A = this chain, B = another copy of it.
Amino acid sequence: MSKNSSITEIDQSVQQAHEAFRVFRRINSKQRAAFMHAVANEIEALGPELIATAQLETNLPAARLVGEKARTVFQWRSYADALDSVLDIRIDTADASRTPPKPDLRKTAVGLGVVAIFGASNFPFAFSTAGGDTASAMAAGCPVIVKTHPGHPKTSALMGGAIKVAIQRAGLHPGLFAEVHSDTFEGGQYLVSHPLIKAVGFTGSFTGGKALHDLAAKRPEPIPVFAEMGSVNPVFLLPRRLENAAVDIAKQYLASLTLGVGQFCTNPGILVAPEHAGLRQFLDTLKIGVADTEATPMLHQGIASAYGKNKAALLANTGVTVLAEAPETSPETHGNATIATVKASQFLANDQLGHEVFGPFGLVVTYENAQEAEAIAQTFKGELTATVLAEPEDIDAHQHLIELLTNKCGRILLNGFPTGVEVCYAMQHGGPYPASTDSRFTSVGPDAIKRFLRPLSYQNWPDEYLPDELKNANPLGIWRTVNGALTKEAIQ
């Protein structure tokens, strides 16, 4: 555990970051992109020590961590390469002949200011100190203060070190990136309340995200908070699909549910299945599969203990029956896959059953007809993902259900499972509240940068005083909307 930062230390970090912002916000997108690739290089250069350290601190297997490191490097590189596409440059040139004369207006996007990032425990690389939120904010031209996750302090220090080396080598202001440590709410509270903090990125629990959101909204100057707070990611299995593929789906569902000991925000915690031909086979396959899994160490004891407690609370509800439970070896540290079933009528009568149990726990809700399935869909609030497992005839017969689900999630999947969040342009990782605090943004993919950018219009400035991306010659060679038309051409 790192020593908690004092209030004075946090204040100094923020002040220095604000100072760094003065220059960083003005370097152009190509220069920012070059810096981001330099960070990627430094992370890549972190050797076996990184993996070994993270393994010790998180209990995650080496292969997973090697993959996550590559993902993290890819985030820095792909956000850097995509930077120009999120600036959304709009130029409307002057028309002196109009009455009144039309001014020359050119809109770019600039960083909001110093950003506070709160990393997650379940992705020590990709969603923590040097994770996607930090990469997004720096891509936007914002200095970053990371409130490190107390679950993996040494991993955090290694990753933060890579960013600092890149800053130093690039000759940028050292205040551009800093870590602060706090294992109480006070440190984070002070950080989010600091007048020079202009935005917050958070990945974690609903309780944590909501606390930061509420705090930021109450500041004298409210600031945007993008908190990704997980969800139950409902999976709707439709009748023909169940009939045709009960065994395969059971195996795939179990694989998704237990991946990473269920410690994913896109973990499919609730599967809604019809009381239809194939259900018995589906459940039996799950049962056999669960019996075959071994309890696995969770990220830390707090998570393992919460898993046990939340699971027990859910199982205590009327009508909930344990279908299968993997042997419980060391409940204080390990999570054992567990699947329970409940009838739709019971599920609909008790809103406790819709709560997320973070870990390898699945609740199979069985429904008798489309009306029940729709009623279940109605109970969900905002979700990161919703999944439909269906044959074409199922889709045609369940249009209203699919529409309901589409309206409640950020990503809708067909015949797949939601774990595995691709880092790409088309990813939406976010969703209506409480999946995230602002459904208009994503925390994965280059569009995540938009959370930390604001538009800025220049009116009637001569070319030489404009930022590069707005100059007539288009020296950065980027796509721009000029008088309504997308083009890479220079302006004559």
Q: Is there a chain B Cβ closer than 8 Å to A450's Cβ?
A: yes
Interface readout for A76-108 with B: 1 if CB under 8 Å, 0 if not? 000001100100101110000000101101110
Shortest distance from the beta carbon of A437 to any chain B beta carbon, whole Å: 7
B426–A105 CB distance below 8 A = yes
Contacts of A309 in B (CB 8 A): none
Asked whether A481 is an interface residue with its Cβ less than 8 Å from the other chain, the reply is: yes
Check A420 for interface membership: any CB of B closer than 8 A: yes
Contact of A458 with B by CB under 8 A: yes
Is A438's beta carbon under 8 Å from chain B? yes
A90 near B434 with CB under 8 A, answer no
Residue A327 at the chain B interface, CB threshold 8 Å: no
Cα distance, A486 to B478, chains bound together (Å): 11
Q: Which of B25, B26, B222, B461 is in CB contact (< 8 Å) with A414?
A: B461
Distance in angstroms from A87 CB to nearest chain B CB is 12
Which residues of chain B are within 8 angstroms of A214 by Cβ–Cβ distance?
A: 217-218
CB distance from A268 to the nearest CB of B (A): 13
Q: Does A157 contact B (CB under 8 A)?
A: no
A447 partner residues in chain B, CB cutoff 8 A = 88, 90, 107, 455
With a cutoff of 8 Å between Cβ atoms, the chain B residues found around residue A420 in the complex are: 100, 103
Task: Give CA–CA (A81, B484) in the complex, Å.
Answer: 9
Residue of B nearest to A387 (CB): B459
Return the contact of A460 from the options B222, B403, B413 (Cβ within 8 A): B413
Question: Chain B: which residue is nearest A214 at the CB level?
Answer: B217
**Which residues of A120-179 are within 8 A (CB) of B?**
none
B425 touches A465 (CB 8 A): no
**Residues of chain B within 8 A of A427, CB atoms compared:** 92, 105, 107, 457
* Residues of A in contact with B, size category: 35 or more
Q: Do B425 and A481 have beta carbons less than 8 Å apart?
A: yes
Contact B107 A403 (CB under 8 A): no
Using Cβ atoms and an 8 Å threshold, which residues of chain B touch A91?
425-426
Partner of A221, one of B88, B434, B459: B434
Least distance between A79 CB and chain B CB atoms (Å): 12
Residue of B nearest to A442 (CB): B455
A218 to chain B: which residues have CB within 8 Å? 214, 217
Contact B224 A213 (CB under 8 A): no
A454 on the B face (CB < 8 A): yes
Alpha-carbon distance A221/B442, docked complex (angstroms): 18
Let me know if A411 and B457 touch, CB within 8 A: yes
The answer to the question of A331 belonging to the interface, with a C-beta cut-off of 8 Å to chain B, is no
Please indicate the chain B residues that have their CB under 8 angstroms from the CB of A433 in the complex: 221-223
> A432 and B412 in contact (CB under 8 A), knowing A107-B427, A403-B26?
no
Query: Pick the contact of A457 from B428, B457, B479 — CB < 8 Å?
Result: B428
Q: How far is the CB of A192 from chain B (nearest CB, A)?
A: 14
**Is A290 an interface residue when CB atoms closer than 8 A count as contact?**
no
Which residues of A, 404-454, contact B by the 8 Å Cβ criterion?
A: 406-407, 409-416, 420, 422, 424-428, 430, 432-434, 437-442, 445, 447, 450-451, 453-454
A457:B425 contact, CB within 8 angstroms: no
Q: Measured between alpha carbons, how far is A451 from B440 in the docked complex, in Å?
A: 8
Residues A416 and B460 in contact, CB atoms below 8 Å apart: yes
Q: Is the CB of A414 within 8 A of B107?
A: no
Contact B414 A460 (CB under 8 A): yes
Distance (whole angstroms) from the CB of A96 to the closest CB of chain B: 13
Query: Is A241 an interface position by the 8 A CB rule?
Result: no
22 A-B pairs within 8 Å (CB atoms) are namely A26-B403, A81-B484, A85-B481, A90-B426, A92-B424, A92-B426, A92-B427, A105-B427, A107-B428, A110-B407, A213-B217, A217-B222, A222-B433, A224-B440, A411-B457, A411-B459, A412-B458, A412-B459, A413-B460, A428-B456, A440-B451, A442-B455
The 6 closest A-B pairs by CB, nearest first: A217-B217, A105-B426, A428-B457, A90-B425, A413-B459, A439-B454
